[in-house]
């Protein structure tokens, strides 16, 4: 483990400690008809009244920190002196393709109707140009997050699979 990897490991460990000390909480209403609402981040040993830990958001936070730590670990490894390399390697081509894919995905995000945003069963209306959508449409953030995650994970896996010398 080199010095940069130790720094990345330390930063990840501090982030994990802070995430576990201050987890996200949901507020459970006394009324049965209302679903839990996000209450914020509280000290783990001093939860809010009628609060419960939002375990899905907590797991998402932990996974993001661990994935970023893994990526930093791989990117900060010691490298052998490079011989003559082509100007555009397969890894660089994957990075360019992933970037273009992200830009296209953000220019044509998934949309849902405005009327179903508050509905517990979301709908999917299609992909529209972000600057020319119908006023009755709203961006479906849940599907957008999934798309971004899949593009980044697949881009990272392809980038790692095209590593030379493996």
Look at residue 41 and tell me whether its pLDDT is greater than 60: yes
pTM higher than 0.85: no
34/111: higher pLDDT: 111
Sign of the C-alpha dihedral computed for residues 122, 123, 129 and 133 taken in this order? negative
pLDDT tens profile 134-157: 777 788 777 788 888 888 888 888
Look at residue 1 and tell me whether its pLDDT is greater than 50: yes
Residue 80 has a pLDDT of 65
Match 């998402």 to its residue by tokens: 60
Look at residue 118 and tell me whether its pLDDT is greater than 70: no
Q: What is the mean pLDDT of the chain?
A: 82
pLDDT tens profile 71-114: 888 877 877 666 666 677 778 888 888 889 989 988 888 888 77
Whole-Å CA distances, 54 to 12, 32, 76: 21, 18, 33
- Alpha-carbon span 109 to 111, nearest angstrom: 6
Residues 6+ apart with CB under 8 A from 142: 122
């Amino acid at each position: 483990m080199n010095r940069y990897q130790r720094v990345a490991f330390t930063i990840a460990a501090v982030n994990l400690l802070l995430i576990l000390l201050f987890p996200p909480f949901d507020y459970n209403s006394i009324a049965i008809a209302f679903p839990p609402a996000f209450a914020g981040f509280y000290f783990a040993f001093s939860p809010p009244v009628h609060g419960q830990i939002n375990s899905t958001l907590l797991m998402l936070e932990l996974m993001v920190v661990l994935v970023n730590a893994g990526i930093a670990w791989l990117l900060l490894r010691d490298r052998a002196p490079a011989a003559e390399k082509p100007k555009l390697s397969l890894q660089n081509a994957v990075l360019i393709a992933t970037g273009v894919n992200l830009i296209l995905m953000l220019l044509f995000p998934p949309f849902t109707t405005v009327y179903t945003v508050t509905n517990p069963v979301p709908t999917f209306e299609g992909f529209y140009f972000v600057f020319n959508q119908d006023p009755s449409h709203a961006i479906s953030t849940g599907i957008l997050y999934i798309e971004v995650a899949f593009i980044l994970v697949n881009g990272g896996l392809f980038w790692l699979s095209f590593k030379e010398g493996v």
